Amino acid sequence: MSRPTTVGDYVLGSLIIEGKTKQVFDLKDHPDLCMLISKDRITAGDGVKAHDLEGKAAISNQTNCKVFDILNSVGIKTAFVSTASANAFVSRKCAMVPIEWVTRRLATGSFLKRNVGVPEGYRFYPPKQETFFKDDANHDPQWSEEQIISAKFNFNGLTIGKNEVDIMRRTTILVFEVLEKAWSLRNCALIDMKIEFGVDTNGNILVADVIDSDSWRLWPSGDKRLMVDKQVYRNLTSVTQSDLDVVKRNFTWVRDQLDFLKPEVPHLVAVMMGSPSDKEHCQKIAKYCRQFGLNVELRVTSAHKGTEDTLSVLRELEQRQGSLVLIAVAGRSNGLGPVLGANASCPVINCPPPSTSMSQDIWSSLSLPSGVGCSTVIYPEAAALSAAQIIGQQDYMVWSRLRVAQLEHIRTLKKADVEAQINF
């Protein structure tokens, strides 16, 4: 493969490493980044089977860039920075953890050989997570958590211990669940997949390497016979040009389907305040909502003093397209939430503003007439989380951001626990 000197605006430095399917280059002026250039090469069986496949580099690279764009959009920590050309992308430069992190929803392939008696199609919930040491010569042996910890890997100053393994395991499952939901939008079942992690120059664990049609089993309509992933190539005993054409057509189809996996799901969270004096509290709610990618609108309406207007605003919001969640913010006696709850068919969440008389005022939100339903929280973040949980039922990207936030809480707690043991 000839060696380019520039890709897009980037000047290439030295070749860091070359593997079976790509080359990794240093970048002049960007010591923390690198360029990954794909090759027109398809391989299987730890590289024993290998063919040139014209156009494969671009298809793989474009697939990878779209997948990582989804992961970055929902807040998963990845090494992917940007697309650089048809067959190259810029990544954070990582010391790579030599482990393949596999997640399975259905039992198939090598799992069946290693777990005799389990029928093909056995469904795992939560998804089954397995780890394999990257070692082509020994056919990537399966490794336990204890083996990974005992290897005492150290990359860019970070030792891979129990906490690090746990975070990578949880992230692996999350990446699978996010992409499983994404693919379900095209009625495709993600059966299993593998990812790799790297440690960047600042010691952060990131999802790295690539995710493309080589990384997963993907069955349209959940039907194994319709598979569109690299298994088609693995299964070939002799490989003809027309076989390679089928593989390429499948990979191209997958790349093109990815354009539909970041849909705009119409929805609105309307923060209804009884008085403009509640503005600050409402802006906090809106800020938290936007962190989950929610569309938010702030409105002022008083159910006590402007009852007709309140119902008119409600009807206006209800005729818009998509899911609607109302967050009612009213101090003292909360007429607003219960009136909305009594007249709306969408969820209504009360989030009264902070006040010294909160312990008495809260009863106007809690003790509702029969036939009226609305829920009550007192913190702006809790109101936003509840709204995101509702919208996330239809919008997998919102759902994913909630899951990422939950994982970040675990990461923060683990870090605090380590620091407490040293400093407290």
Q: In angstroms, what is the minimal distance from the CB of 304 to ligand ADP?
A: 59
Q: Does 91 bind ligand ADP (CB under 6 A)?
A: yes
Are 94 and 81 a contacting pair, CB within 8 Å? no
Separation of alpha carbons 137 and 114, rounded Å: 19
- Residue from 4, 6, 15, 17 in contact with ligand ADP (CB under 6 A): 17
Beta strands at 375-376 and 158-159: parallel, antiparallel or unpaired: unpaired
Write the CB contacts of 225 (distance below 8 Å, at least 6 apart in sequence): none
Considering only the C-alpha atoms of the chain, give the largest distance between any 2 of them, rounded to a whole number of Å: 79
Q: What is the 3-state secondary structure (H, E, C) of 266-327?
A: CEEEEEEECCHHHHHHHHHHHHHHHHCCCCEEEEECCCCCCHHHHHHHHHHHHCCCCEEEEE
Minimum CB–partner distance for residue 173 and ligand ADP (Å):
21
In the window 200-229, what residues touch ligand ADP (CB under 6 A)?
A: 208-209
Q: Length of the chain in residues, anyone?
A: 424
Q: What is the DSSP string of 337-367?
A: HHHHHHH-SS-EEE-PPP-TTHHHHTHHHHS
Of 68 and 219, the one with the shorter C-beta distance to ligand ADP is 68
Minimum Å distance from CB 201 to ligand ADP?
A: 10
Q: Which of 198, 274, 337, 347 binds ligand ADP (CB under 6 A)?
A: 198
Does 24 help bind ligand ADP (rule: CB under 6 A)?
yes
CB of 98 to ligand ADP, least distance (A): 8
Q: Out of 7, 10, 12, 21, point to the residue binding ligand ADP (CB under 6 A).
A: 21
Upper half-sphere CA count for residue 306 (Cβ side, 13 Å): 13
Stretch that binds ligand ADP, among 93-101, 170-178, 322-330, 343-351 (CB under 6 A): 93-101
Is residue 96 a contact point for ligand ADP (CB under 6 A)?
yes
The yes or no reply on residue 20 touching ligand ADP (CB under 6 A) is yes
Q: Which stretch binds ligand ADP (CB under 6 A): 3-11, 15-23, 270-278, 320-328?
A: 15-23
Q: Choose between 87 and 386: whose C-beta lies nearer to ligand ADP.
A: 87
Q: Which two tokens stand for residue 104?
A: 């399975």
Of positions 44, 71, 94, 344, contacts ligand ADP by CB under 6 A: 94
Angle 42-44-47 from CA coordinates, rounded to 5°: 90
HSE of 135, CA atoms in CB hemisphere, 13 A: 8
Residue 56 lies near ligand ADP (rule: CB under 6 A): no
Residue placing its CB nearer to ligand ADP in the complex, 79 or 325: 79
Residue 348 engages ligand ADP in binding (rule: CB under 6 A): no
Contact predicate 302/400, CB 8 Å: no
Q: How far apart are CA 339 and CA 328, in angstroms?
A: 10
- Structure tokens belonging to residue 362: 């809260």
- Residue 208 or 244: the one with the smaller Cβ distance to ligand ADP is 208
Using CB under 6 A, which of the segments 18-26, 147-155, 303-311, 363-371 binds ligand ADP? 18-26
Task: Kindly calculate the radius of gyration of the chain based on its CA atoms and give it in whole angstroms.
Answer: 26
Residues 6+ apart with CB under 8 A from 161: 149
For the CB of residue 323, give the shortest distance to ligand ADP in the complex, in Å: 38
Q: Does 61 bind ligand ADP (CB under 6 A)?
A: no
Determine, following the binding rule CB under 6 A, whether residue 172 of this chain makes contact with ligand ADP.
no
* Beta bridge partners of residue 106, listed in sequence order: 123
Helix locations, 78-188, DSSP H: 110-114, 145-150, 162-184
- Our CB check for ligand ADP shows the closer of 215 and 350 to be 215
Strands 41-44 and 205-208: unpaired
Q: Give whichever of 64 and 334 is closer to ligand ADP, judged by the CB atom.
A: 64
Stretch of 21-29, 244-252, 313-321, 344-352 lying at the interface with ligand ADP (CB under 6 A):
21-29
- Cβ 110 to ligand ADP shortest distance, Å: 17
Q: Which is nearer to ligand ADP, 57 or 325 (CB)?
A: 57
Report if residue 22 touches ligand ADP, rule: CB under 6 A: yes
Comparison of 99 and 340: residue with beta carbon closer to ligand ADP: 99
Beta-carbon contacts of 131 under 8 Å, excluding residues fewer than 6 positions away, are: 99, 100, 101, 102, 142, 143, 144, 145, 148, 169
Instruction: Tell which one of 66, 93, 194, 255 touches ligand ADP (CB under 6 A).
Output: 93
- Contact residues toward ligand ADP (CB under 6 A) are 17, 19-22, 24, 34, 36, 79, 91-94, 96, 198, 208-209
